Structures are given as C-alpha cells and as structure tokens.
Structure 1
Amino acid sequence: MSHSRKWVDTSQPATSATDSRQVPSGEGEHFVVVAAGTANGFIEGSSLCYPAKSTSGDYHGEMTGELLIRWLTNQLLALLSEPSVMVLGKAPYHNQLIDACRCPTTSTKKADLTTWLERRRIPVPDGATRPELLLRCQQHRPKPQYTMDNIIREWGHEVVRLPPAHPELNAIDQVWACMKRHVCSSLHRFTRADLQARLEEAKLLVTHRVWASAVKRSRDFEDGYLSSDNIQEPVGHIIINKQR
C-alpha cells in the first residue's frame, strides 16, 4: 500500500509522522476487511477486519466459505431491519454448494459414480466404463444451490449474483477502491496500528454520498447493458450469384 514514487521532504527526520514514509523492505502485514453497505452508506456493525496469515497479497486465500457464513449469520443478517436484496460476486467463498447439489468430478471413483447415479434413480448401463458413468453424472448435474443463498432467503432476503468479471456492477468494489487510495496516500509508519488507523479514517471518508454515487454508477452500467442486450447491427442486402 505505497506509491512507487512520491515527492518527499528530505529535510524532515525519518521519525516524522507526517513527512516521512518508512516503507518496509518486505511485503509487510496484510489485513482482510469485510463489510456491507447500501446507497445510505456502510451498515453499522457489519465491518470485520483481521490480519491475514499470508503476505502474498492475494486475499482470496484468507477467506473461506465457513468464515463468510459465520460473518453473515452472526453479524450482517441480524442488522437488517427490512427485506433486502444482497449483491454477490463470483468469488469462490460465495459459491459454496450444498451437499445435495455436488456433482462427481474426474477424480471420483467408479464405485462412487455408480452410487451417485443409483441414489438419484438414474439408470446405470451394464458394463459402463468410468468415463461413460462420469458423462452420465454430468448430464444429470443438479441445478446449483448455494449455502449462502439458502441462508439469506431463510432470513427473508433475496440474492442477486453478478456475472463473472464485471466488478463495475458491484458498488462496493468502487468503495474499496476509494478506501485503498486513502490508505495508500496516508500510510507512513507501515505498522499494524498505523494501518488500522488509516483503515478507520478511510471508512469515515466513504460517506453516504460516496456510496450513493457508487450505487448510481453501477446502476447506470446495468441499464446500459440491458438497453443494448439482444441488439444486433443491421446487415445489408446479400446478393448471391448462381452459376450453372
């Protein structure tokens, strides 16, 4: 979280808290931040922040479906006072399938493939090979049901899942970008305490106006995609000359 180049005042001592940046030689510590928000701002009490075990920079390895469900049930859902629509991306921890919807994979044993088919009363051809059984399983793959979706609906809310690789449709991605810019420009000590303090500042800077603007921008993208859906460019007349 530091700029590769920046103007500095070399006359200031290295211990200065405002005019020097003690950038560590290594990656330093990483924090994972989880929160939810609406056009009115962050949902009070929904924030979760904890230090990552890895310094690889890839936060996906620090979040699991089990951890996200605990945050969902213990924090977020209890804070929602009215029926809401939750927007979810395509991250792996959002897509934890219920056991009944799991389909065998290429590593599944032949006996387990047969058992999977028999439990669903799907005919198993005599003498079928393992690839044939796997293909039959895939042809009868159940419609996916996600653990998160079921929990959210049990609490009286609804879910909207975004298509892959479309962060512009998710307002919170714009909010995270705003917070990261502040942390990147204001971090000086590169310690855990300094990072946490800058994160709290960044969260306060993301006011309801910032959230409302992010939501509007995502909706504008959505409206643009909807208006252009199924629109094809006109094709002129095609002349085919037949030769005998």
Structure 2
Amino acid sequence: MWFTTRMQHNKEWVDTSQPATSAAYSRQVPPGEEERFVVVAGGTVDGFVNDSFLCFSAKNKNGDYHREMNSNLFLHWFLSQLLPALAEPSVLVFDNVPYHSQLTEESRYPTTATNKAELVKWLERHKIPFPPHATRPELLQLCKKNRPVPWYMIDNIIREWNHEVVRLPPAHSELNAIEQVWGCMKRYVHSSLQRFTQAGLQVRLEEAKLCTTKEVWAGAV
C-alpha cells in the first residue's frame, strides 16, 4: 500500500472562530510535489507478522505504487522478512499483481506479442501438431488452446516452506483482510497528518501501525 504527505480529505469542517492563519482554522496543503511511502507487510488474526513491516520512500510521483515494487524486491522481502517470521504452517493469501504472479518456466506460454517463429518453437517443444502453412493468428490460437495450467514461482517456494497459498479472483481485493487494515491505517493518517513532510508522514505511519490492533485484524479476517 502507499501513503502520501498530501493525504488530506476533500472537504473539512472549518472553525471560523479561529483566525485564518491558525492551524485550528483549516489544514492548508502546501504546493509542490508530495512525498510517498510504499508499505509492505503480512498479517494474521493476531496482527502484523513480527518483522514483516517494510516501509520505503517511493520515487514515482504518479500514484501507481505498483511500479515501485518488482518481483525481485518482493521476493527478497518475502524470503528474508515474511517466511522466516511465520512460526507455524499458514495459508498465505495473494491477489494477482504481477510481482505475485511470475509463472514457472514450464507454465509460460506465448502471448500476442510473440512472433511467428517463437510460436512455432513453442508448439514444437510441446509436441503439438500444427498445419505447415498456418498463419500467425492460427498458431497463436493453437497455443492458447493448449496453454498449460498456470503455476507460479512463489507458490513453489511457499510449499517448500510447508505453507499453503490461496489466490484471490481478479478484481476482488475486498476478500483480502489486509486491504481493510490498510484502510484503517489510511483513515488514521488522513485525520491526523498535520505536517505535510516526509518526517511527519513517517511518524503518523508508526502511530497508524499501532492503531491496527489485534482486534482490528481479527475483525478484518
């Protein structure tokens, strides 16, 4: 999830009994570019998994925090911070963002960007017959028809550690408990951020993390 120094409400009550220069009158968002943090963590019914909380400053300013995360960074966090902290066999819940969903070599198949020569190689490698004068669209359709069951690299790792994995259907993030926890943290930062600086945001983030108690997590799960 991402948090930004300009996480303000669209509308606010204004205390008109205070001078306009007073902080109690309204919170004025300064001009200029906002600072963003990307936060990665795992959690259970008992709260955030110990030592799984990773927070880093984002370089991308367009709001798409997914561009700040890639498969290598995610895998490093997963192997070094989350998996070692799980004390017992667990079921890990994932959505379908690309860095959760790298296919194994065996389950990769051609896409619409694959050229004709590579389509032919893939079909030959998988011993799938095709007409000698087939067009590229016909070869692509044949590849799609025979595509293997998707198997993800991260799933193999999870099972090697004696855990199980559940993958959510696309566009159903409401089924993921941590989304509700992120929402709780965002509401806190929205309502409490007074200094629109990176340091101010970092303080509010630490407070928001403490607000997501065991009861919050249990309710979300």
After TM superposition, the score normalised by the length of structure 2 is: 0.90
Within the alignment, does 1:170 sit opposite 2:176 as a pair?
A: yes
What is the CA distance between 1:12 and its match in structure 2?
8.0
2:191 aligns with 185
Q: Tell me: CA distance 1:148–1:19, structure 2 relative to 1, closer, same or farther (3 Å).
A: farther
Match of 1:70 among 73, 76, 80: 76
Moved more, 87-96 or 40-49: 87-96
What is the CA distance between 1:53 and its match in structure 2?
0.8
1:54-93 CA-partner distances (Å, limit 9, x unpaired)? 1111212212222111110111001111110001112222
Write the distance in 2 (CA, Å) between the matches of 1:62 and 1:84: 27
CA contact (8 A) 2:95 2:170 kept: yes
Within the alignment, does 1:203 sit opposite 2:212 as a pair?
A: no
1:5 aligns with 11
What is the CA distance between 1:22 and its match in structure 2?
4.4
Higher Rg: 1
Aligned alpha-carbon RMSD (Å): 1.8
Partner AA of 1:71 in structure 2: W
Partner AA of 1:132 in structure 2: E
CA contact (8 A) 1:21 1:189 kept: no
1:123-157 CA-partner distances (Å, limit 9, x unpaired)? 23222222221111111101101111111111110
1:239 aligns with none
What is the aligned-residue identity percentage?
60
Write the distance in 1 (CA, Å) between the matches of 2:158 and 2:113: 32
Moved more, 171-180 or 105-114: 105-114
2:3 aligns with none
Gaps in structure 2 of 5+ consecutive residues: 1-6
Within the alignment, does 1:145 sit opposite 2:156 as a pair?
A: no
Q: Secondary structure at the match of 2:12?
A: coil
CA contact (8 A) 1:40 1:208 kept: yes
Aligned 1:40-189 pairs, distance under 5 A: 40-189=46-195
Partner AA of 2:80 in structure 1: N
1:29 aligns with 35
Partner AA of 1:202 in structure 2: A
Write the distance in 2 (CA, Å) between the matches of 1:50 and 1:145: 30
Write the distance in 2 (CA, Å) between the matches of 1:37 and 1:79: 11
* Stretches of 4+ aligned residues off by more than 4 angstroms: none
After TM superposition, the score normalised by the length of structure 1 is: 0.82
Partner AA of 1:142 in structure 2: P
